[in-house]
Chain A
Amino acid sequence: GAVVSQHPSWVICKSGTSVKIECRSLDFQATTMFWYRQFPKQSLMLMATSNEGSKATYEQGVEKDKFLINHASLTLSTLTVTSAHPEDSSFYICSAKRQGRGTDTQYFGPGTRLTVL
């Protein structure tokens, strides 16, 4: 299989603090990982594409200085929400593209529920 994990699964923080979310591919190497945000009853919205060893590519309207992404290894990408505010409360989901396969398939993590008070 292709297993992707996220940590933590949920986090509650005060406004103004920073929160780091980890995304790991457990049984394969991923040169490319993706970060999505999902609001209630809405579909997934891509925030950024994370490539191992290089800078992330952010979608239009996503603040790169607020959502810091680091893809330091072939199995780990991190998303840091800096100076979080209540409007950043959402469900954050990462995905990883399996390296070396002929398919474009992305495998998703279980998600992280962020609540900013």
Chain B
Amino acid sequence: EDQVTQSPEALRLQEGESSSLNCSYTVSGLRGLFWYRQDPGKGPEFLFTLYSAGEEKEKERLKATLTKKESFLHITAPKPEDSATYLCAVHSVANFGNEKLTFGTGTRLTIIP
């Protein structure tokens, strides 16, 4: 069974203080790893898709990286508007054909002005 573990559960940073969020996964064969941002009371907003170890993607202050066992979401010089819950999800070979994603429980990020 696919498993996704995100850490830390919550993270408070000062504005401008860079850090990283972790997503560890165990799957039978990775077809894709996804990062989403979710604001309270809203649906998840797509950020990145990573397909293979060594891949990196960037968007503004966010950069996502992938290894064979985990993914990191690096946030550089964050601003208060970056405060949200960041969700990691995987799509595996075991679920090929049904497109099912397995989600982690998320990291709740708070940026203090």
Chain A residues proximal to chain B, CB less than 8 Å: 2, 4, 6, 32, 34, 42-44, 46, 49, 57, 91, 93, 95, 97, 103-111, 113
Q: Chain A: which residue is nearest B48 at the CB level? A: A105
Query: Quick one: which of A44, A103, A108 contacts B45, CB cutoff 8 A?
Result: A108
Picked from B42, B87, B91, the residue with its CB within 8 Å of the CB of A43 is: B87
Identify which of A43, A57, A106, A108 gathers the most chain B CB atoms within 10 Å of its CB: A43
B44/A108 in contact, CB under 8 A? yes
Q: Known A44-B44, A109-B43; judge A104-B99 contact (CB<8 A).
A: yes
In angstroms, Cα B43 to Cα A113, docked, is 11
Distance between B48 CB and nearest chain A CB, rounded to angstroms: 9
Residues of B within 8 A of A (CB): 31-32, 34, 36, 41-46, 49, 87, 91, 98-101, 103-106
Docked-complex contact A111 and B43, CB < 8 angstroms: yes
Beyond A49-B99, A108-B43, whether A44 also contacts B87 by CB under 8 A is: yes
Q: Which 4 pairs between the two chains have the least Cβ-Cβ distance?
A: A108-B43, A111-B43, A43-B103, A108-B44
15 new A-B pairs (CB below 8 Å) besides A43-B105, A105-B34?
Answer: A34-B99, A43-B104, A44-B103, A46-B101, A49-B98, A97-B99, A103-B32, A104-B31, A105-B46, A105-B49, A106-B99, A108-B36, A109-B43, A110-B43, A113-B41
**Bound state CA distance, A44 and B44, in angstroms?**
10
List, in ascending order, chain B residues with CB within 8 A of A110's CB.
42-43
Inter-chain contact B46/A111, CB cutoff 8 Å:
no
Give the shortest distance, in Å, between A98 (CB) and chain B (any CB).
10
14 A-B pairs in the complex with CB atoms less than 8 angstroms apart? A46-B101, A49-B99, A57-B98, A95-B43, A97-B99, A104-B32, A104-B91, A105-B32, A105-B34, A105-B46, A106-B99, A108-B43, A108-B45, A111-B42
Chain A residues within 8 Å of B98, by CB: 49, 57
* A49, closest chain B residue (CB): B98
In the docked arrangement, what's the CA distance between A34 and B98, Å? 10
